[in-house]
Amino acid sequence: MKRSRAYGRILAAGLVALATLAACGSEDPAPPAQAAKDTGSSTTGPLPSAQPRPPVRLREIAARAERYTASLGHFLDVGPTDGTWTVENPNRVVTWRFAPHPDETEAIVLAELGDHEVPQRIEVVHRSAIPRLFFEAPSWLFFANYAPEGAPVMAPLEGADNAVQIVWRPVHDGGGLTSRHAWFDRDSAELLRVEDRSRAGHVVRAVRRHPGATDVLDLPKADVPGCCGRPLVTHAADDIRRALAAPFEVYEPAMLPPGYVRIRADYRASDLDEAETPVEVHRATLLYSDGLGLISLVIAPRPDLDAIVSHYGRMPSRDGDPNGCPGLPTAASEVRDTRSVIRMRQDVCRTLLRRDDVAEDLGVMLLGRNELPLEAYVRAIGGLKRVTGP
């Protein structure tokens, strides 16, 4: 059912682009300045021609717009199987090179590249795990809540002079101004770059292909590990059962922002990733998304939550980079709602909220990427309900 809605959205996206392109009177994507003039954003200039256009040309325009949307949907669900890709977020930049496994058809060899494109770390992962390296939410959820804004426009990239750009914006009234900017090869519809931007226009995630890279992972077959186990298949009921395995009560927002649904849940007792001093913490984590925006809710014993909050405050930042984060402040301010006192730490990239009054010895933390107004995050953590089952 979800898959049907996804491709219904893909078709709808193609029709939106078709209508705009037809109004422009151009088969190919127009340069940005020309596109603004032709779509009627200015009251000057010649009126669009009233002459009917040949149906075959309209079909070609619709097919081209739909191919771009389908290309993005495929990447969200499958990810790349070859090539060199860089993922940027406010904390770090990682470049991976992908190659098919020489023996396992369902496995992908993944090399994290260092300076001069030298592999620093080699992993073998199941194909189903690849999409999560890039985006958290599946395509059906994104296309259910986002639609293209206008027609594709020519927007050349380095190494891709014939690139076109499409911008997707939310169709729900959630108070958010998030957007996804995607660039494609005009002729092949291959995805070249994606940027997800917050309400303030800050890039919360960027994914780009290296068109000039060698794209060859030259490793002796003996150095390639075997495959990695079972496919990464998740079901909402199984996810929440794992979270409910926590030895404490689990809570989630009684009301979510428009378009947001729970996409994953988990419970684990393990060391914090990249912590200066390894410390085992117990936490249940629930993730919510509208297909682009992301809210993380963490429930943990208060001493463990202290360590988690401290960990987020120490996360590396890309100082001097316009898309980097200065780091969360060490001192928390208070935000009061009608029910509780919420402590807040915030920078240009993230909002971290915490409350300690939901249950004895338990704390709850919400982490957002400033894709929503502060009030939306406060409402989410301010009104919690106990999770009792799938």
Q: pLDDT, tens digit, for every residue of 138-187?
A: 899 999 999 998 889 999 998 899 999 999 999 987 656 889 999 999 99
CB 178 within 8 A of CB 197: yes
CATH number of the CATH domain containing 158: 2.50.20
Segments forming the whole domain that contains residue 48: 2-209
Q: In the listed set 209, 227, 262, which residue is the last one of a domain according to the structure?
A: 209
Higher pLDDT, 378 or 55: 378
CA distance 16 to 149: 8
The Cα 201–Cα 295 span in angstroms is: 18
Dihedral (Cα; 369, 373, 376, 380), 10-degree rounding: 30
The whole-angstrom separation of Cα 178 and Cα 284 is 27
User: Are residues 140 and 205 both part of a single domain?
Assistant: yes
Looking at the fold, whether 49 and 191 belong to one and the same domain comes out as: yes
What crossing angle do the helices spanning 2-24 and 55-78 adopt, rounded to 10°? 140
Domain identity same for 85 and 152: yes
What is the number of structural domains in the chain? 2
Is the same domain home to 200 and 271?
no
Q: Which residues of 167-193 are buried (b: 16+ CB within 10 A; e: fewer)?
A: bbbbbeebebebbbbbbbbbeebbbbb
Percent pLDDT > 90 in the chain is: 38
> DSSP of 237-289, one letter per residue?
HHHHHHHHTSSS--EEESS--TT-EEEEEEEEEEEPTT-SS--EEEEEEEEEE
Note the pLDDT of residue 34.
42
Q: What is the pTM of this model?
A: 0.79
The span from the CA of 343 to the CA of 230, in Å, is 41
pLDDT mean across residues, the chain:
78
186-190, 226-230, 356-360, 363-367: segment of lowest average pLDDT: 226-230
Residue 336 lies in a domain: yes
Q: Are 168 and 290 in a shared domain? A: no
Residue 109 CA to residue 106 CA, distance in Å, equals: 10
Shared domain check, 131 and 255: no
Domain assignment of residue 227, yes or no: no
Copy the structure tokens of residue 34: 């020309």
pLDDT in tens, 83-94: 899 999 877 889
